[in-house]
Amino acid sequence: MNRRTVFVRNTLAVMLAAIVGGSYVYFRGADIPAAQAANLPAQAAAPLAAATSSLATPTDFSGIVERAGPAVVNISVTGKAQRNTDQAAEIDPNDPFYEFFKRFGPQFQQQPRSPQIMRGLGSGFIINSDGLILTNAHVVDGAQEVTVKLTDRREFKAKVLGVDKQSDIAVIRIAAKDLPTVQIGNPALMKVGEPVLAIGSPYGFDNTATAGIVSAKSRSLPDDNYVPFIQTDVAVNPGNSGGPLFNLKGQVVGINSQIYSQTGGYQGLSFSIPIDVAMKVEQQLVQHGKVTRGRLGVSVQEVNQALAESFGLKKSEGALVSSVEKGSPAERAGVQPGDVILRFNNQPIDHSVDLPTLVADATPGTTQKMDVMRNGSIKSLNVVVGEMKVAKDTSGKNGAEQQGRLGLAVRPLDKDEQQQIGVHGGLVVEDVNGPAAIAGIQSGDVILSLNGNAVTSVEQLRSLVSKAGKSVALLVERGDDKIFVPVYLN
């Protein structure tokens, strides 16, 4: 073997070693088996361990679903059609928020045989073993009938204990005992980027689990002044509304409430109500049937870097007062436009959305201390908290109660109408609601009998219904057909 051949071989060996060594270094963080890693020199093993520990691993939520899933319920509702069921239609199409933050449950669909009755789906979760359930206000508000279905396929009629539209929280109860419940967590301990899990009934698919991460905290949304929303990228869709958001410990940290969508479906931006906010509302609804909130009477905005510099702040924090309502608690306390509220009741105000939440939690009539930045110096003020007045809304009253147990508005047939259809007596339906509409009765139908008793007057029908049990059988003439229609009464 000559010297040239030896040189070439040695050169190739060095190049091969360099290539293999380079590949080895590049892939070692992911591909070296544990047995080989154990034989590495200490100098090489240390960075390997550090690289391996920093790698993200897939999160297994199966244990949480198995443990907490039975406490998540499907909620179906029936209610009277509103004047306008498309919320986006109430906004000017040229408004930048026209397609912004659509609610995603319940998704009402008009029934072909009952044009005044709408059906919807949502989710909820059991917080007490005796049947206490949390959900969204917009899921059950104004509903005539609320049905809760458990994962074991049992179904219960639910009673709405209270609805708070401002926080979008509702409390309902079913007559059941020893039910599975969820664990309540602390949203304040959550970190942006940590995994979260949602369970609900998107599009009616019961107990569907979807996962993602916390995208942001304390989000302020248009027309929602009292909720510092949790933003996630968890896939939620129509029907998820009112369902729980879990942390890795299997604790509920939020209630899925809104999405950002231009299509009505999931687009990567979901918003949940922090569970601590929801539980405060729940306690008041259960104890008092309503929620009492404190009030200052100011409009505030977020402080960005430019504003912070303008008002002499070291960092962007606080709530900048843009206006003060005349005669309000804030005006009486001496608050002025341009003040930056830094603390309320000894609690720091990091974001403007923090202030309404803290004020709402304050008991009306109590005196609270406020620190504000004014003209470059901090000033302490004492404010007597007022009470937030909410306009009375009677639309949530059970329409079926107003229409009677049957839910019908009828009138007697005149002689010409009786002769035309060949009947004696009978009542024509002019308006339909509640149980009758759910059963499929519609305007123009003629009620001939109830439980075999011929109907000839409105008073007689009312009397027969008052004496009936849980259901009745109506003989109805519609066109050329006569059919018996079973109706479950209120």
Residue ranges in 85-236 assigned as alpha helix (H): 137-140
If you count DSSP H runs as helices and E runs as strands, how many of each does the chain have, helices first? Answer: 13, 29
Per-residue burial over 8-18, b = 16 or more CB atoms within 10 Å of its CB, e = otherwise: eeeeeeeeeee
Catalytic residues: 138, 168, 241
Cα dist. 57→54, 195, 199, 348 in Å? 9, 11, 22, 36
Both tokens of residue 331?
């005006």
* CA distances in angstroms from 435 to 73, 462, 486, listed in the order given: 24, 15, 10
Determine contact, residues 426/456, Cβ cutoff 8 Å.
yes
Q: Kind of pairing, strands 143-149 and 155-164?
A: antiparallel
Burial group, residue 93, by CB count within 10 angstroms (0-12, 13-18, 19+):
exposed
Q: Is residue 198 helix, strand or coil?
A: strand
Please report which residue ranges of 229-314 form alpha helices under DSSP H.
275-288, 305-310
| 286, two tokens | 């259960």
How far lies 240's CA from each of 88, 293, 408, in Å? 19, 28, 33
Inter-residue contact 166 to 390 (CB < 8 Å):
yes
Phi and psi of 44, rounded to 5°? -85, -30
CA 394 to chain centre: 22
- Retrieve residue 279's tokens: 């539980």
- Is the separation of the CB atoms in 126 and 71 below 8 Å? yes
> Beta 251-259 vs 183-184: how paired, if at all?
parallel
Question: Angle of helix 42-53 relative to helix 3-31, nearest 10 degrees?
Answer: 40
Q: Confirm if 90 and 150 have CB atoms less than 8 A apart.
A: no
Integer Cα distance of 39 and 120 in angstroms: 63
Collapse the DSSP code of 22 into the 3-class scheme (helix H, G, I; strand E, B; otherwise coil) and give the result. helix
What whole-number distance in Å separates Cα of residue 428 and Cα of residue 411? 6
C-alpha closest to that of 239 among 214, 269, 264, 276: 264
Do strands 224-232 and 298-302 pair parallel, antiparallel, or not at all (unpaired)?
Answer: unpaired
